Structure formats: structure tokens, C-alpha cells
């Protein structure tokens, strides 16, 4: 067994590990890792990426991105896990279900382990429509049991919503929501709302279940003296979906931005006048709190959102709610906001005020730091 790293003096070493998310992931790097580094922890991040670097006090160690799901499980996962083990970190923070077995190994060699449940795993498996229904149900049940069993052995569990948190032991589970950092709110030089072009913006992964098809079809139905545009900032999953959507008439008004850095996301938010969030009513979406929702709100954009109770509770009067499967309803909501710019701007201010007042990362970071202090002690340990 490795020497217990808890006996060492100096900064507490922390390793964040992911085989699924890229190195500059918003939640993992920009929020959690940076906040821990700012608090004095010695933070390393092991993730797929292009090159090693140190940003904002976080040491990023990369492995080659996987070219398939099989390669991700067979090669990427053991690479990032073993690299984290060699780092001799006191706390190892896992971000993907496929790392759960490695978490048990980390516990066996004396490390503290925290698991970050980004989504409801059993519900997510039930949305895998490429699998037969009977297999989805079986895999969901097995995954539920495996995830909860492993987490019972870990030192802490983090979830993004209360709905996910109820699946785990309450005494070691905390909710750390995907709220935006206050530093990401619009600067004083952001264009005034009235001066913005008719752009409806979507941030994040682009898939059928996330409303990619409905957004493209809807923008083609919106009329106006200046034709509106749909800006898509994210990657298509699967990649052939892009070619499929290109055959729709709305594609002529669609601008594909691809993956965007945080600075580029900020620029896109400053130019758009509407945020789109029309995820399908899949079980895993109904009680989700996507990062993009709070980014739209923080940027002062009115949101066209799926009519989910959890989103109504957060967004309130900051947007319009639609059936995400109804292309006409989505087009009508975009049309209405473009035709009523003063009311649209008022909705955007409602959302922005909520973020400024309470729905911001700085509050969530305190919860994260309290968990770390309980699990591993203060950021700077003293010799025992």
C-alpha cells in the first residue's frame, strides 16, 4: 500500500479525473478546479486534450482524446486513472461513471475519493434509443446499483441537482449547481440589447434529443424584416447529424460555430438576443439544471425553454415556455420575442437579476470547499 499522503505537510494535493470531458470543461476546470486552486489546494486535472499546461493555478495533464467509446473505456480511462494515482494526490475527484471501479482502487491505497454525478445515470441510460428497451432497463438497474454501491465506499458525493442527490447517502452528499461565475456576467462594454442582431443562440452539445432538429426547423419558419439567424455553438453528436440537418430549409439561416472557448462563448452571448433551450422531455432532462440556462440568464437573454417544472422554478418570468417537440411553438416564441424587443429585454433583466442575486457560482463554491474541508482538511495541511 502507498504511504498515506495525509501525513504530508503543505498544500493538500487534489486530482480531478475525467475520461469523458475535455480538459477545459466548464464545470470541472473553470468552476471546480479553479475555485479549489484559489482556495489554496494544489490542483491537477487529468483529462483528454491536446497539450499539458498550467492555467489559473491548475496543472492540466492530458492524454490523447479517444476516437470511439470503446477506446475511451479501454485506453483513455485507465490512462487518466493511473496518472492520477501516480500524482500522489490526497483527494481524487472523479467525474465519470466509468471511473467508479478505479475509485474503489484509490480507496484501497489510502486516498480520499469524491464522486461528481453530473447527471442521473439510470435515467440517462434509459434515453439510449440505439439500445433495445429491455437492455436499457437492465443496464439502468445494474448501473444504479453499481453507482450507489461504489459511492457508499467513497468520502463524498457531489450532484448538480437535488433530484440526483436523493439517490445517495445524505450524510456525505452535497449539491453543487452549475451556476455561472459572477466574473462571466456582461462587462460594461457589452452591446445594449436594443442594438443586437436577431440571433437565437444555442450553447452545448448538439443532438436530436437536445432539440437540434427542432431548432433548425423553427428558425426557418420565423419571419422578419431582417431574417433571424440560429447560432449553434457546440459539436454534433453523432457527427453525421450535421449533414442530415443541412437538408432542412432552416439550414440557410444557421451558423455553425463549433466548439467555443470561454472568451468566444462570452462574445456570442454578447451578440445574441435570445437563448434557446429546447431539450426533449427525456427523464434525465426533466429535473436537470443545464449550465447554458444560467449562462443565458447571466447574459441578460430571454430564454425560449422547454416547459419543464424545474426550469420554470428557476427561470420564472425570464422567458417563454414551449413544447420542445412542437416546431411551430418554438418558431412562434422566437417570433414573439423579436417582435417585442422591450418585453424581451425586460425578461432578460429578470433572469440576470436572479443570477446576480443568488444563482451564481460563488455561492456554490462555498459548498464545494466545505466538502473538501470535511474530507481532507484545510487547503494547507500541517505536519502531524
Q: Is-same-fold flag (5-179+361-379; 182-357)?
A: yes
Report the share of the chain in percent with pLDDT over 70.
Answer: 96
pTM of structure: 0.87
- pLDDT above 80: residue 206: yes
**Residue 226 confidence (pLDDT):** 81
Mean pLDDT of 341-345: 96
Mean pLDDT of 15-19: 98
Locus of grid cell 439502468: 140
Confidence of residue 56 (pLDDT cuts 50, 70, 90): very high
- pLDDT above 50: residue 298: yes
- 221-232, pLDDT tens digit by residue? 998 778 899 999
Domain ranges of the chain: 5-179+361-379, 182-357
Measured CA to CA, the distance from residue 345 to residue 240 in angstroms comes to 36
**Residue 9 confidence (pLDDT):** 62
Enter the C-alpha cell of residue 270. Answer: 454578447
Containing 214, the helix (H) or strand (E) segment is helix 212-219
- For the domain spanning 182-357, the CATH number is 3.40.50.2000
Q: Which CATH topology does 5-179+361-379 take?
A: Rossmann fold (3.40.50)
Measured CA to CA, the distance from residue 99 to residue 282 in angstroms comes to 25
Measured CA to CA, the distance from residue 358 to residue 371 in angstroms comes to 20
- pLDDT above 60: residue 343: yes
Amino acid at each position: 500500500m502507498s504511504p498515506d499522503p495525509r501525513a504530508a505537510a503543505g498544500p493538500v494535493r487534489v486530482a480531478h479525473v475525467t475520461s469523458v470531458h475535455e480538459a477545459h470543461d466548464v464545470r470541472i476546470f473553470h468552476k471546480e478546479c479553479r475555485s479549489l486552486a484559489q482556495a489554496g489546494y494544489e490542483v491537477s486535472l487529468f483529462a483528454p486534450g491536446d497539450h499539458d499546461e498550467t492555467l489559473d493555478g491548475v496543472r492540466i495533464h492530458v492524454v490523447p482524446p479517444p476516437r470511439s467509446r470503446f477506446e475511451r473505456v479501454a485506453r483513455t480511462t485507465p490512462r487518466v486513472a493511473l496518472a492520477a494515482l501516480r500524482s500522489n494526490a490526497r483527494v481524487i475527484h472523479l467525474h465519470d461513471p466509468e471511473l467508479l471501479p478505479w475509485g474503489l482502487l484509490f480507496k484501497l491505497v489510502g486516498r480520499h475519493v469524491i464522486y461528481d454525478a453530473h447527471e442521473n445515470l439510470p435515467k440517462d441510460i434509459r434515453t439510449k434509443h440505439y439500445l433495445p428497451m429491455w437492455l436499457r432497463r437492465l443496464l439502468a438497474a445494474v448501473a444504479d446499483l453499481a453507482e450507489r454501491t461504489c459511492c457508499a465506499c467513497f468520502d463524498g458525493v457531489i450532484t448538480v441537482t437535488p433530484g440526483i442527490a436523493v439517490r445517495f447517502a445524505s450524510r456525505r452528499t452535497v449539491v453543487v449547481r452549475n451556476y455561472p461565475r459572477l466574473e462571466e456576467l456582461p462587462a460594461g462594454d457589452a452591446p445594449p440589447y436594443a442594438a443586437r442582431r436577431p440571433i437565437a443562440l444555442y450553447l452545448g452539445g448538439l443532438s436530436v434529443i437536445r432539440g437540434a432538429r427542432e431548432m433548425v426547423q423553427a428558425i426557418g419558419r420565423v419571419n422578419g424584416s431582417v431574417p433571424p439567424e440560429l447560432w449553434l455553438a457546440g459539436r454534433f453528436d453523432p457527427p453525421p447529424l450535421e449533414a442530415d440537418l443541412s437538408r432542412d430549409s432552416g439550414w440557410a439561416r444557421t451558423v455553425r460555430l463549433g466548439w467555443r472557448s470561454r472568451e468566444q462563448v462570452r462574445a456570442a452571448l454578447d451578440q445574441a438576443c435570445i437563448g434557446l433551450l429546447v431539450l426533449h422531455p427525456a427523464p434525465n432532462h426533466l429535473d436537470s439544471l443545464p449550465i447554458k440556462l444560467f449562462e443565458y440568464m447571466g447574459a441578460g437573454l430571454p430564454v425560449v425553454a422547454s416547459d419543464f417544472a424545474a426550469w420554470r422554478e428557476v427561470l420564472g418570468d425570464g422567458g417563454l415556455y414551449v413544447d420542445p417537440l412542437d416546431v411551430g411553438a418554438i418558431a412562434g416564441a422566437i417570433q414573439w420575442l423579436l417582435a417585442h424587443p422591450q418585453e424581451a429585454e425586460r425578461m432578460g433583466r429578470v433572469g440576470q437579476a436572479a443570477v446576480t442575486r443568488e444563482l451564481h457560482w460563488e455561492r456554490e463554491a462555498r459548498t464545494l470547499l466545505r466538502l473538501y474541508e470535511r474530507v481532507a482538511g484545510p487547503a494547507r495541511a500541517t505536519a502531524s
